[in-house]
Amino acid sequence: MEKAIVLYPSEGRGHLIAMVELGKLILKHHPSFSITIFVLNTHSASTAQHVASSTAQYIAAIEAATPSITFLHLPPISGVPSTLFPPELMYLVPRLNNPNVHQALQTISHTSKLKAFVIDFFCDAAFEVAANLSIPTYYFFTSSASSLAVFLYLPTLHKNLDKSFKDLNHMLIDIPGLPSIPASDMSKATSDRSSKVYEYFLDSATHMAKSNGLLVNTFELLERNAIKALSDGLCVPDGPTPPIFCIGPLILSCNQDGDDHQYECLNWLNSQPSRSVVFLCFGSMGLELFSAKQLREMAVGLENSGQRFLWVVRNPPTDNNDKEPDLDELLPQGFLERTKDRGFVVKQWAPQAEVLSHGSVGGFVTHCGWNSVLEAVCGGVPMVAWPLYAEQKMNRVVLVKELKVALAVNESEDGLVSAAELEKRVRELMESESEAGKEVRERVSGMRDAAVAAVKGGGSSHVALAKVAELWFTSTSTSTC
């Protein structure tokens, strides 16, 4: 019987890509493994058509290029409320899929030796399914080690605090291995201790501490302090911490997304001077959160900055997000004409990994999603941190204060970032005489070299993945499916 590894990502293209890259690396160490990746099938109304289409295209390309990786689409589920808070929905969908997961694991175990079940943080509901089947279970944490430290420490914070984070305002929260984080910057999903999603996070932290190991998409030199705190057991003071394997950066390789299309924006970048362009992109979800007013402020800020720019624009949330945006209607009158010699506006989507690896790109205004951060670090591109949702405000604190690879934007009470603020930060990042920009440029350049070294033979991430892959390969444990 062949030796099988099952990977279970949560919804979202970024989570899927990270799991696929993990599967590819596992096969490099042990090509005899068979890899099965579970794919959630919800037909969610919130999943924009262009995102679903690009994901299907990506899966087809991976299946064609890597026969040892198989995608198992779980049966569709019904009765998923569309009105739930997104993080609660991300937990609920895998929970509703537990019967499907149980059946799939049993089926695989009948024909293969199931050596490990690797689940996403949001797929925590499957932990008990795997435990009942005696399958060794690992978590793949696609966010930062800093975020992992926060989540593992959450039960301790819950015990020590008697108020929700949302009621603590700007009180500083101390977490092992991290700079102090204002309570207002903690993930919105954990802001209310009476909420269902907060309960999910507490349960996940407990299960993660009981798992066989935690695989983290980071590398040692990038998050040295957080990783040390985790490895020293400081984030789980009341019990043992499972082994930590830092195996990143795992990012989508350029030209590996199944799309051979020659993007016009890449051709435009080819004609721009080295490190002269600031790239603005906010993830597949973040792009849909900007109001028409915010888009106009961004346009004014970019125009006044005088910098070359590549900007991805999508319709505001009240509009049809599957419809191409009308740039003449959304942006200030004459903006496109006035900036045509130094700016390029892309509708809906751009090949971010390829853009960030392009030699003409010298800055990145980002929502601080961890995949995006890693792509920027690997490209040696300094950042302006503009968080929008999830754990991104925590990421901003770490990126700016700890890692020093980003400058922070300041938003108003209602979340609006003014044209003047964006102009200021873009100038600081891109202008050669800016001391703040110089510091982050030098810092991220060093981290780029460290990222390359980490995944090479003998590098820290290469060694960590080899260790866990060998552990799976030689393990004598078997499931009771």
Q: Does this chain's domain 2-253+454-474 share its CATH topology with 264-452?
A: yes
Domain boundaries, the chain: 2-253+454-474, 264-452
The residue among 218 and 285 whose pLDDT is bigger is: 218
Q: Which among 30, 50, 110, 120 is annotated as catalytic?
A: 120
Q: Are 159 and 171 in contact (CB under 8 A)?
A: no
Q: Per-residue pLDDT tens for 269-287? A: 999 999 999 999 998 665 5
Q: Which fold has domain 2-253+454-474?
A: Rossmann fold (3.40.50)
Residue 20 vs residues 12, 36, 254, 289, 378: alpha-carbon distances, Å: 13, 10, 14, 27, 18
> How far, in Å, CA of 22 to CA of 136, rounded?
17
pLDDT tens-digit map of 160-209: 999 999 999 999 999 999 999 999 999 988 999 999 999 999 999 999 99
Average pLDDT of the segment spanning 298-323: 87
Full DSSP string of 426-438: HHHHH-TT-HHHH
Residues of the chain with pLDDT > 90: what percent? 79
Q: What is the predicted pLDDT for the residue at 322? A: 60
For residue range 358-367, list pLDDT tens digits in order.
Answer: 999 999 999 9
15, 207, 358, 462: which is the annotated catalytic residue? 15
d(CA 185, CA 307): 30
Residue 434: C-alpha distances to residues 111, 141, 207 (Å): 61, 36, 46
Among this protein's residues, is 120 annotated catalytic?
Answer: yes
Mean pLDDT for the chain overall:
91
Question: Which residues have C-beta within 8 Å of that of residue 33, sequence separation ≥ 6?
Answer: 2, 3, 4, 5, 26, 27, 68, 115, 469, 472, 473
Q: Is the pLDDT of residue 290 over 70?
A: yes
| Nearest alpha-carbon partner for 72 in 45, 99, 98, 37 | 37
Output the pTM of the full model.
Answer: 0.91
Q: Does domain 264-452 have CATH number 3.40.50.2000?
A: yes
- Measure the CA–CA gap between 384 and 290, rounded to whole angstroms: 17
Name every residue whose Cβ is closer than 8 Å to that of residue 322 and which is 6 or more positions away in sequence: 48, 49, 50
| pLDDT score of 86 | 73
Is 110 catalytic? The answer is: no
Q: Sign of torsion, CA 331 333 334 335?
A: negative
Q: What number of other Cβ atoms are within 10 A of residue 168's Cβ?
A: 16
Measured CA to CA in angstroms, residue 39 lies from 15, 79, 188, 448, 460 at distances of: 11, 18, 26, 32, 30
